[in-house]
Structure formats: C-alpha cells, structure tokens
Amino acid sequence: MNIKRPIPIADLDSVAWWSAVSRHEFVCARCSDCNVWRWPARAICGACGSMTWEWQELSGNGTIASWIVNRHGFGGAFPLPSTVVLVRLAEQDDLLLPGGWAGSADGVDLSVGLSVVVGFEDIESEGGDSDQAVLSWGPRHD
C-alpha cells in the first residue's frame, strides 16, 4: 500500500499563503500600519491591532533556530528518519517558520545558527495530482 503524505488544510487566514507556496512563492503577511511581519497569517496584527495587511515576498534566507529528527513512523506517510527544522527568518528576529530539511535525513549536518535558504517540495494528494507544496529548507551556500 502506497500512503500519500497529508495535504495541509488552509483556513480563511492562510489560504493565500498556501496558494503562494503551491506556486513556489515565499510570502508573508505584513501589517500595513506597523510593518511587522506575521506568521501564521491572522486577521489582526498582534503588535498594533490593525486589521490591514499585505502579502509581501520574503528573501527566503534565515538561520536554524531548532530541529527535531522523527525516527518513528506516522502511518507510513513520511520517510524515516524525517527532519523538521524551525527557521528564524532574516526579515524579523521573532519570525520563525517550520519546514522540512533538504539536507541529511538524520539531521547530522544541522546546527543552531546555520544559514539556510527556502526551497519547496511538491506533495501529491490521494488522487496522485501534485496539489500542494510545502517548505523545504536547505543549507545556504554563499
């Protein structure tokens, strides 16, 4: 039996973000009043209370803040080991996004502060179509 990975389910606030990711565009909501980036997307700015924002492109650069190596299966949907990283984005110190790790599966090449760049991994739905993409971080080579 071939088990497909689960497809992320967008809500009202995140549907535009998931749509951009599926097009391999790296964007984030930014408050129109105080310019604070906010992720996950939500209707009200946590910094100033504004309800106005714009989707703006991010550089895709960041550093590793943390990671976890999953060694136990989740219904066969993910290859093992599977590493998930938490990345501190260059645009704002408190802007942290999770994603898969495109480096070694067991995470031996990871360290806190490692410079990374965003990439995208297309995932397939149960029907076999490539419906969505997810973030996949890799080492940045300057």
Under the banding of pLDDT at 50, 70 and 90, the label for residue 127 is low
Sheet with 53-57: strands ordered across = 37-38, 27-31, 53-57
Q: CB of 64 within 8 A of CB of 110?
A: yes
Q: Which CATH number fits domain 59-142: 1.10.1060, 2.40.50, 1.20.120, 3.40.1350?
A: 2.40.50
Question: pTM score, two decimals?
Answer: 0.89
What's the pLDDT score for residue 9? 86
pLDDT, average across residues 119-142: 83
Mean pLDDT of 100-122: 92
pLDDT tens per residue across span 19-71 = 999 999 999 999 999 999 999 989 999 999 999 999 999 999 999 999 999 88
Domain boundaries, the chain: 9-57, 59-142
Q: Please name which of 80, 92, 88 lies closest in space to residue 118, comparing C-alpha atoms.
A: 88
For 17, phi then psi, to 5°, come to -65, -50
Please state, in angstroms and rounded to a whole number, the distance separating the CA atoms of residues 92 and 57.
13
Q: What does the pLDDT look like over 70-104, one tens digit per residue?
A: 888 777 777 788 899 999 999 999 999 999 999 88
- 82-89 and 53-57: which strand pairing? unpaired
